[in-house]
Structure 1
Amino acid sequence: MNVPFLIARRYFRSKNKRNIITIISNISMIGVAVGTAALIIVLSVFNGLEDLVRTLYGKSDPNLVISATKGKAFDVDRTFLMKLENTPGVALLTQVIEDNALLQYHDRQMVVKMRGLSDNYFGQSQIDANIREGDHRLHRDSLDVALVGAGVQHELSITLNNRLAPLRLLYPRNTAGRKTLSMNPEEAFNQESLIAGGVFLIEQHIDDSYIFVPISFAQRLLGYTTRRTALYVKVGQSFEIDQVKNQLRKQLGPDFKVQDSDEQHVSLFKAIKVEKLFVFITFTLILLIASLNIFFSLSMLVIDKKKDIAVLLAMGANQLAVRRTFLYVGAIVALVGAAVGLLTGVTLCWLQQRFGLVSMGMATSVVESYPVKMQVSDIAFTCLSIVLITLAVSIRPALNAGNLDLRENL
């Protein structure tokens, strides 16, 4: 029989006295419950936002991107491409030329990210499902056609399929060997024109700055022949992305980078994880502050139960048993509050996932309600924090209880 636990449970459930100790204990439980529920909910929201970002970028991101370790572009030839295409797991290989360019439409202009794509790009991207106006084709008969982001279209007031007023893209010419840049735009910039055939709506950063063009158009504008800035790889369904990524890294060597979707946006995901860590630390400190009430209630309980402690010691209980009794009291108070908080937090997150109780409140939002995703690791770390905090605030009162002088309190 665990006598210290039985006594601790009796102290916790005792209703004989509705004194200040009971009130403080109840406040402690409520504080722990609220802090635990808030921690679970906030961490789940961060998980949901991380998944949302992955989903948004996944609409345009390829499975893998091959780029040069040094420099902006690299040379490719047919042998190099065939070697990559024959790699196990590579289902599709898309050639890409991407760079900044000046976009002009009527009397308006802005700097955009121009992405030149080979014709098979839409075989590995879901972007054709995100076309808001027009269609996704980059060629119509003999004409080059551009896809523009919704933000770019709004900024320049672009009209689709306007052959009388096409888009004009300018890119600085290679000035190697020249000491100064010509002030004449005809000499200083390469210029190419094409019509806008579609508008895509993916993610704000992409929508506000990107324009997709045929790779042949980008070659002419930038003066590239066999040079490419990236190669996009679609991985076969029966292959693991990490497996193909490691195989390509071994095959290409240190001169090339092979990145999956998370590695392409490593700074963004790192920022989300850092924010999540700081939120966890902040709410853990709030839990610690709420748990200080446990310290005060245990300290007052030790004073109130001096005679009980003296009787236990006189009956043969040792100091360790007395200390364990008050540690159990603190643990019961904290764990009851934590259990209520965990149940509340998990229930609210489940309701949000199921019914979308809290909406984003924005008409232009890509999702109607706040995304949440519960993870076992978050619940485990929350429980571990509560255990450590409970021990931290309960040890001192328990030590004081074990050190009471028997002769003075009988």
Structure 2
Amino acid sequence: MNLPLLIGLRYTRAKRKNHFISFISLISMGGIAIGVMTVIVVIGVMNGFNKEFQDRMLSTVSHATISAFQGEHLNDYQNAIEKVTAHPEVTGAAPYIRTEGMLQGMNTEGALIQGIVPTDEKQVTEFQNNMRYGQLDDLQAGEFNIILGIDLAAHLGVGPGDKVTLYVPEFRTTAVGITPRLKRFTVTGVFEVGMYEYDFKLALIHLKDAATLLRLPKGAAEGVRIKVNDLMQAPRIVRELGPRLEGFYRIRDWTQEHVNYFKATKTERTVMFIILSMIVAVAAFNILSTLVMLVTDKQSDVAILRTLGLSGGQVMGVFMVTGTLIGFIGTVLGTIAGLLFAININSIIATLESWFNTSFLAKDVYYISEIYADLHAADVLTIVGIAFGLSILATLYPAWRASRVQPAEALRYE
């Protein structure tokens, strides 16, 4: 067996008087393991949070949007739909009218009112799959039906079959003065997207009912929402759709609509990765201090080995093997623990919430009320590489000091 490897492996085990050093080695190993586990779990949860948020957001938000300039409407949205659906990568298009309003049931709450055409809406969003009661087809023109988010319906104290009054910022003059436009709607459905922003603030009505309420011309819409077969290709497809429209339209893809969010999460993930890597760096310093104490404790052994012909490089190899083994075992244990923890994070959080009778992610505070982990092989390999690399770097200085031990000085008082 390679001599430095053999001696290095022996130094990792406790021998008579050096139990304290072996205990410090275990602490260093545990530090590396905890650091690696923490980074894997946090990065996995951040990936999962971003993926879940993106999936839920894009289930209700279109991949791209065509609209007129500020304050104007598309007077012939059918023409725009025909032109964009001619593109082979566009899978659906649907008109919409969006306005803010006040809904009154047993309670009153502001809401985002969205006028849609049910048959077209099914092609661009997942509302139909998220219905808890009723169907999108229950929205019939002229019947003034409304579908509410589940939290909005609960707050208003209404359910299917109940009436709500919708007030919109479209004022009219009457004998008693200026009053807002209002209309009674019948609740025919309830949806649950899983994002509090939509479940508490969004209500759906038929496009023609919205146009009537806002006094828009027949056949007008605020814009057209587009769905493509690959949302990651939406920016390119949008650039190709521009010349097809042949008019003064404003067309934007989902990355432009939510660019600030995605830039913020990307920056946050990078900064979090750097900060958490400091935990691994601190654990690597523990390896360095452990090896420094080991070198001091083994000076006489090193001196004897040098007199027997062991070179300075071989002495360095002895202590590098010891430190590398500590880092390797710690990294492996941390990786296994991190993967297991991340995979079962949802059940672990649910158990803790039941034990402490609390909710870590309140629906009215966070966009998503459940924690998911999305592990990427590249992230795990990067974390493992950084941890193991820092462990090896931490061995260089103590090993170099050991190679500089002078046999005569080390054995002078032996």
For 1:315 and 1:15, the matched residues in 2 are separated by 22
Query: Is 1:137–1:145's contact at 8 Å kept on the other side of the alignment?
Result: no
Structure 2 residue 284 is matched with structure 1 residue 286: no
Q: Aligned partners of 1:114 and 1:290: how far apart in 2? A: 54
Q: Report the Cα distance in structure 2 between the residues aligned to 1:241 and 1:115, rounded to whole angstroms.
A: 23
Matching residue of 1:94:
94
Paired residues of 2:81 and 2:224 also in contact (CA < 8 A)? no
Q: In the alignment, is residue 220 of structure 1 matched against residue 212 of structure 2?
A: yes
Aligned to 1:246: 236
Residue correspondences, number? 393
Q: Specify the SS of the correspondent of 1:71.
A: coil
Task: State the SS of the aligned residue for 2:318.
Answer: helix
Amino acid at match of 2:198: I
Work out whether residues 138 and 214 of structure 1, in 8 Å CA contact, stay in contact via their aligned partners in 2. Answer: no
Corresponding residue number in structure 1 for 2:166: 168
Residue 49 of structure 2 aligns with which residue? 49
Structure 2 CA distance for partners of 1:188 and 1:316, relative to 1, 3 Å: farther
For residue 385 of structure 1, what is the aligned residue in structure 2? 386
Alignment correspondent of 1:199: 190
Indicate the RMSD between aligned Cα atoms, in angstroms.
Answer: 3.5
Change over 3 Å in CA distance of 1:73–1:387 after alignment to 2? farther
Q: CA deviation at 1:99?
A: 2.3
In the alignment, does 2:116 pair up with 1:117?
yes
Report the secondary structure of 1:132's partner residue: strand
Contact 2:93 2:123 in 1 (8 A): no
- Distance in 2 separating the partners of 1:267 and 1:82: 31
- Conserved 8 A contact 2:60-2:125: yes
CA distance in 1, matches of 2:40, 2:290: 26
Instruction: Provide the residue aligned with 1:21 in structure 2.
Output: 21
Q: CA deviation at 1:15?
A: 3.8
Structure-1-length-normalised TM-score: 0.81
Cα contact 2:151–2:200 (8 A) shared by 1: yes
Q: CA deviation at 1:231?
A: 1.9
- 1:74 Cα shift? 5.0
Counterpart Cα distance in 2 of 1:242 and 1:367: 22
Unaligned runs of 5+ in 1: 175-181
Match of 2:253 among 259, 262, 271: 259
Shift of 1:142: 4.0
Give, as a single letter, the amino acid of the residue that structure 2 aligns with 1:50: N
SS at structure 2 position matched to 1:137: helix
Alignment of 1:328 with 2:321, yes or no, is yes
Does structure 1 conserve the Cα–Cα contact (< 8 Å) formed by 2:114 and 2:204? yes
Amino acid at match of 1:214: H
Once residues 131 and 124 of structure 1 are traced to their aligned partners in structure 2, the CA distance between those partners, rounded to angstroms, is 15
Q: What corresponds to 1:126 in structure 2?
A: 126
Contact 2:68 2:74 survives alignment (8 Å) = no
What SS is found at the alignment partner of 1:341?
A: helix
Cα 1:351–1:219 change in 2 (3 A) is: closer
Partner Cα separation in structure 2 for residue 223 and residue 402 of structure 1: 88
Rounded to whole Å, the distance in 2 between the matches of 1:409 and 1:350 is 52
Report percent identity of matched pairs.
21
| 1:376 partnered with 2:370 | no
Deviation of 1:296 after TM superposition, in Å, equals 1.8
Residue identity opposite 1:215 in structure 2:
L
Amino acid at match of 1:117: I
**How do 1:183-194 residues align onto structure 2 when only pairs under 5 Å count?**
187=178, 189-194=180-185
Residue type at the aligned position of 2:236? N
Distance in 1, matches of 2:320 and 2:71, equals 63
Q: CA deviation at 1:271?
A: 4.8
Matched residues in 1 for 2:31 and 2:174: separation?
Answer: 69
- Structure 2 unmatched ranges of 5 or more: none
Match of 1:11 in 2: 11
Q: Which amino acid aligns with 1:43?
A: I
TM-score, length-scaled by structure 2: 0.80
- Following the alignment from structure 1 to structure 2, what is the Cα–Cα distance between the partners of residues 317 and 59? 67
CA distance in 2, matches of 1:270, 1:387: 30
